[in-house]
Structure formats: C-alpha cells, structure tokens
Amino acid sequence: MELHQLRAFTQVVEDGSFREAAETLHLTQAAISHSIKSLEGRVGVTLLNRGRTGVSLTEAGEVLLPYAKRVVETIDAASEDLASLHGAGTLKLATFASASNHYLPAVLQEFHSRFPRIRLDIKEGNDLDTLEWLRTGEVDVAFVVGHPHNVQFQPLYDDDFVLVARRDQMPGVAENAVPIEMMADQRVIAATGGCEKVVSAALSVANTSVVYSAVVREPSTALALVQAGVGITILPRLLVPTLPRTLVCLDIIPRISRQISIAVRRGERRSHAVASFMGLVGQMRGIHGQE
C-alpha cells in the first residue's frame, strides 16, 4: 500500500466524495479515482460503496480506515518534525471575517517575518465552522468565540455588537447609542454563524422581544437588506464597514459583546509551526482592530 493511496482513501471518506477530496488534495478527480482503485486492487476487496449521493465505507473499508488514518497522521507528523529542524513546516489556521480583516494581518506579517519557511494554510468560515474544524482535526489552530469546551484557548480581545439601521428608522435617536429596549417590536435581520446566540441572550436578559424579518449568513447581505428598508440588524462592530450616509451605526446600551480567542486542541503535542504561532500571538495580544 502506498502513502498517496491511503491519503486519497482517508480524504474521500472525510469529504464524502471523490470530487471534494480531489479539491482538498489539489489533485484531479481521475487521480483520486485511480489511487482508490489501485488500493482496492492491492488489498483485493472493495473499500468504498459509490452512489449518487456520495460514498460510504464497506465492511473492509471500516476495518482499514483507522489504520490508514494512523499511517497518514504518523507520516505527516514525522515530516513536520523533520521540517522543523530547518525552521520549516505548515500551519493550518481557521479564521472568520472579523479576525481576518482586523486582527490577523498584523500577526501574520510578523509571523512571516520571523518564520519565513512556515507555510500558512488558511481556512475561512464563521465562528461555528472554525470550532468544528479544530475539533475534527482539519486545522491546527482556530479563532473561536466565547469559552468553548474541550479545547485550550487564549483570550485575545472583545468585539462589541452595534445596531445598524436606516437613519429614517431611528428618528428619535440623537446620540450615538441606543438602549436595547428601543429594539422592542422592531423588525430585525438576524446574521447566523453564532452571532444570533449572543444577541438573543442579551435580548432575553433585557426582556425585549423583536420580530425577525429575515435570517441571513453574510453580514453584507444583512446590510443590503437594511439599506432596502427590510429592518435593522445587530452585528459585531468589526464586521461593519464604512457605511453610506443613509445608514447609522449605534452602540447598544447595555453593551453586548463577544470574546475572541485563539484555540488549539487540548492535550495534543504542538508542532514547531503551532508552537511558534501561539507564542507570537501571546506576545502580540494587544494588537487588534479596536485599537
């Protein structure tokens, strides 16, 4: 059995399809298919059931999978350790928009300056995605929100939430802040990805009910709907760009905030790349988009 065959096999199982595995490994789908067929020919049994809805493991595939994973992970760890002797390696990092835009650039600039031989593999999603990727081993380090369980995290900064509305929707607001009670019975555009849990909890504490007129994933979509008059939205400040004059960004009283942290898996030996990155972040904790 060849390493590339085992890597293709484990990646197809993880991604659920030949196409997605090919994208992950930066290979053609034909190359992945050939590796799987060669592996099945080598072991003399079918490892994967192919179907219109994806792939699934056969009984033989279930037996081989843990061994294949162990081989791939061991070889990757050995390669990483050997590379670290020369200051090289790969760091798989998960991040979300506010961290990418406001915190990460300065950190990565310094990291690249100090460790030019470490390659960065950055995966972007929302804060629910980053935590899931860390827990499943798809990344080594992740930006996360709050105090997640079963990971080791280091708090970095707080990201306050703000209310964004059309000016003509808030005619009675003279200051740059609005009491949370003023949102009562307002039509709210909710942004998913973890933000809605923080906002809902704050509204519940304030005994304030709102009407959700839309639920979207992207903050840019929420802002476009606000501009169209569909409702107001509540977003982390670091996700709000420079707004047109027709929109207003208001602080919320009392403050609604989320804590941004950097996290690694608990109890796992850290590679040179991970240890170097976490050490640098610890030194640069004062750098973030709110300063």
Helices then strands, each counted (H, E), the chain = 10, 12
Judged by DSSP in three states, 204 sits in: helix
Point out the least confidently predicted range of 96-105, 191-200, 280-289: 280-289
CATH number of 3-83: 1.10.10.10
- The answer to whether 3-83 and 159-258 have equal CATH topology is no
pLDDT tens-digit readout, 233-254: 999 999 999 999 999 999 999 9
- Domain ranges (residues) in the chain: 3-83, 89-156+259-284, 159-258
What is the per-residue pLDDT for 288? 44
Could you give the angle at which helices 29-43 and 3-15 cross, rounded to 10 degrees?
110
> What is the pTM assigned to this prediction?
0.69
Q: Which token pair is 60? A: 């033989």
User: In whole numbers, what is the pLDDT of the chain averaged over residues?
Assistant: 89
Q: Which token pair is 217? A: 């994933």
pLDDT tens-digit readout, 50-69: 888 889 999 999 999 999 99
Amino acid at 162: V
Sign of the dihedral defined by the CA atoms of residues 175, 181, 186, 191, in that order: positive
Pick among 1.20.120.450, 3.90.1150.10, 3.40.190.10, 3.40.1350.10: CATH of 89-156+259-284: 3.40.190.10
**Better-scored residue on pLDDT, 225 or 98:** 225
Q: How far apart are CA 160 and CA 256, in angstroms?
A: 6
Going by C-beta distance under 8 Å and a sequence separation of 6 or more, which residues neighbour residue 22?
A: 28, 29, 31, 32
Burial class (CB in 10 A: 0-12, 13-18, 19+), 13: buried
54 strand-pairing partners: 51
Q: How far apart are CA 93 and CA 35, in angstroms?
A: 28
What is the per-residue pLDDT for 170? 79
- Say which CATH topology domain 159-258 has: D-Maltodextrin-Binding Protein; domain 2 (3.40.190)
DSSP state, 182?
G
Asked whether residue 228 carries a pLDDT value surpassing 50, the answer given is: yes
Give first-to-last CA distance, the chain, whole Å: 54
- What confidence tier does 174 reach under pLDDT thresholds 50, 70, 90? low
DSSP state, 122?
E
Judged by DSSP in three states, 147 sits in: coil
